[in-house]
């Protein structure tokens, strides 16, 4: 098999570096009198999304926004129609939203933030971020200053983990055009770095609340089972549960290693926690494992449901549905999992 080029890949030093970057971010953001670190993260998200997508957002026709936002909602409400809806979304997203990066010279005003939120809503990829962006009341100029600092510094700490991203996208040039994940798949390096830093900040924000929960669940993506098609995991309210059919499987190992915790396999982030009940919202803390571009949305999805999250990153992407020609086994840092749980 050819050597696989990944859009990102972590090594043993990653968690040390992202912690240092997290410390520097918190220190720098204290200049702006944010209510708390979560508001600082919201400000950074707004600034980065504005930098990357502002030009396209200002150009987006309101009817196209509405049509795509409705389709994104419809897809969640009626997963059985996914194939038909995704075909339509893929065409509209590629025609109207997928544009080459163009530097944005417009000022970030309240009105422009609303247009940016419309763009994000239309993509369907930022559903869990949107409530945070809509409720943001801090000075928007600070989002820009924070983003400039982030753009100047993120590569120093995180650039080595995304050094193959350009090559990866070049090799897969026309991939995912006309597909519903076209915007997600072509994510800019800054979005990778934003998610990495975002996960580190969220881990700090939610740590105490997570520790106080009486039940803990480890949420694993389906690329971590080594026997994907033949997996015999059984469906349960919060996800699929391993039935121990294959001792070589990563999910098998983690489930055996942490018998005191619930372990669930989730096939897609959008379906996570669908079956959560009131008792889960009161008792549960989750440790989620996911690939980089899902980190912020996964963290806020969980915290929006009042379930405090912690997260560990997949060391690289592993699935065929978005990233690779064939499924490979997802891996994580076991040391980090042990520390976080
Ligand atoms: S060991 Fe568990 S997760 Fe792995 S393939 Fe079997 S049932 Fe699925």
The total of structural domains in the chain comes to 2
Q: What atom in ligand 1 is closest to the CA of residue 250?
A: 4
Are residues 222 and 318 part of one domain? yes
Q: What atom in ligand 1 is closest to the CA of residue 230?
A: 5
Are residues 328 and 244 part of one domain? yes
Are residues 200 and 60 part of one domain? yes
Over residues 224-243, the pLDDT tens digits come to: 987 677 899 999 999 999 99
Flag whether 68 is in a domain.
Answer: yes
Are residues 165 and 43 part of one domain? yes
In this predicted structure, the answer to whether residue 1 has a pLDDT above a threshold of 60 is: no
Over residues 180-230, the pLDDT tens digits come to: 889 998 899 999 999 999 999 999 999 999 999 999 999 999 889 876 778
The pLDDT of residue 139: 98
Whole-angstrom distance, CA of residue 52 vs CA of residue 102:
8
Are residues 165 and 69 part of one domain? yes
The pLDDT of residue 141: 98
Flag whether 4 is in a domain.
Answer: no
The pLDDT of residue 227: 66
Kindly give the distance from the C-alpha atom of residue 328 to the centroid of ligand 1, in angstroms, as a whole number. Answer: 15
Whole-angstrom distance, CA of residue 92 vs CA of residue 234:
36
Are residues 299 and 269 part of one domain? yes
The pLDDT of residue 267: 79
Question: Of 183, 204, 225, which residue is a domain's last?
Answer: 204
Flag whether 87 is in a domain.
Answer: yes
Flag whether 91 is in a domain.
Answer: yes
Over residues 4-62, the pLDDT tens digits come to: 899 999 998 999 999 999 999 999 999 999 999 999 999 999 999 999 999 999 999 99
Kindly give the distance from the C-alpha atom of residue 299 to the centroid of ligand 1, in angstroms, as a whole number. Answer: 25
Q: What is the pTM of this model?
A: 0.94
Question: Of 169, 204, 239, which residue is a domain's last?
Answer: 204
Protein residue with least CA distance to atom 8, ligand 1: 231
Flag whether 7 is in a domain.
Answer: no
Question: Of 136, 171, 204, which residue is a domain's last?
Answer: 204
User: Which stretches of 256-319 are assigned E, i.e. beta strand?
Assistant: 262-266, 284-290, 309-313
Are residues 133 and 55 part of one domain? yes
Cross-strand partners of 39: none
- Per-residue tokens: 165: 């991203």
Ligand 1 pocket test target in 226, 230, 232 with most atoms within 8 Å of CB:
232
Ligand 1 pocket test target in 230, 239, 241, 245 with most atoms within 8 Å of CB:
245
Query: Containing domain of residue 116, as a range?
Result: 14-204
CB 94 within 8 A of CB 182: yes
Q: What atom in ligand 1 is closest to the CA of residue 232?
A: 7
Query: Which is more confident, 80 or 49?
Result: 49
Whole-angstrom distance, CA of residue 329 vs CA of residue 341:
22
Are residues 335 and 254 part of one domain? yes
Kindly give the distance from the C-alpha atom of residue 228 to the centroid of ligand 1, in angstroms, as a whole number. Answer: 8
Are residues 283 and 142 part of one domain? no
Are residues 248 and 188 part of one domain? no
Protein residue with least CA distance to atom 6, ligand 1: 245
Whole-angstrom distance, CA of residue 81 vs CA of residue 86:
9
**CA distance readout (Å), 12 to 17, 164, 165, 229, 269:** 10, 18, 19, 30, 26
Flag whether 1 is in a domain.
Answer: no
The dihedrals phi and psi of 265, each to the nearest 5 degrees, come to -100, 130
Are residues 90 and 220 part of one domain? no
Flag whether 6 is in a domain.
Answer: no
Q: 224: closest CA among 269, 270, 289, 268?
A: 289
Are residues 179 and 160 part of one domain? yes
Query: Which is more confident, 119 or 176?
Result: 119
CB 301 within 8 A of CB 272: yes
Kindly give the distance from the C-alpha atom of residue 236 to the centroid of ligand 1, in angstroms, as a whole number. Answer: 14
Ligand 1 pocket test target in 226, 258, 330 with most atoms within 8 Å of CB:
226
Ligand 1 pocket test target in 246, 250, 264 with most atoms within 8 Å of CB:
246
Q: Give the whole-number percent of the chain exceeding pLDDT 90.
A: 78
Kindly give the distance from the C-alpha atom of residue 94 to the centroid of ligand 1, in angstroms, as a whole number. Answer: 37
Residues within a 6 A CB radius of ligand 1: 225, 227, 231-233, 242-246, 249, 251-252
CB 300 within 8 A of CB 278: no
Flag whether 8 is in a domain.
Answer: no
């Amino acid at each position: 098999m050819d050597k696989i080029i990944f859009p990102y890949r972590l090594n043993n030093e990653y968690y040390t570096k992202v912690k240092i970057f997290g410390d520097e971010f918190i220190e720098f953001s204290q200049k702006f009198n944010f209510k708390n670190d979560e508001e600082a993260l919201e400000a950074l998200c707004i600034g980065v999304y504005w930098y990357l997508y502002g030009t396209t957002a200002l150009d987006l026709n309101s009817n196209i926004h509405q049509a795509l936002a409705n389709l994104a909602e419809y897809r969640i409400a009626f997963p059985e129609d996914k194939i038909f809806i995704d075909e339509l979304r893929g065409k509209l997203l590629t025609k109207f939203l997928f544009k080459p990066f163009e530097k944005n010279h417009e000022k970030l005003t309240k009105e422009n933030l609303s247009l940016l939120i419309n763009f994000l809503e239309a993509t369907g990829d930022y559903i869990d971020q949107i409530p945070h962006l809509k409720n943001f009341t801090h000075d928007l100029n600070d989002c820009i200053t924070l983003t400039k600092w982030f753009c100047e510094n993120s590569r120093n700490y995180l650039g080595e983990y995304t050094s193959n991203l350009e090559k990866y996208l070049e090799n897969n040039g026309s991939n995912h055009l006309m597909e519903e994940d076209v915007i997600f798949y072509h994510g800019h390096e800054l979005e990778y770095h934003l998610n990495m830093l975002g996960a580190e900040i969220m881990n700090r924000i939610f740590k105490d609340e997570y520790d106080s929960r009486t039940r803990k669940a480890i949420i694993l993506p389906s690329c971590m089972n080594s026997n994907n098609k033949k997996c015999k995991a059984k469906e349960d309210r919060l996800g699929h549960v391993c039935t121990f059919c294959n001792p070589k499987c990563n999910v098998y190992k983690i489930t055996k290693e942490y018998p005191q915790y619930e372990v669930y396999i989730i096939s897609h982030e959008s379906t996570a926690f669908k079956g959560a009940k009131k008792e889960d919202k009161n008792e549960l803390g989750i440790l989620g494992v996911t690939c980089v571009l899902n980190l912020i949305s996964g963290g806020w999805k969980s915290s929006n449901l009042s379930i405090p999250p912690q997260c560990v990153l997949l060391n690289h992407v592993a699935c065929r549905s978005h990233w690779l020609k064939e499924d490979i086994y997802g891996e994580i840092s076991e040391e980090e999992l042990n520390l976080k749980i």
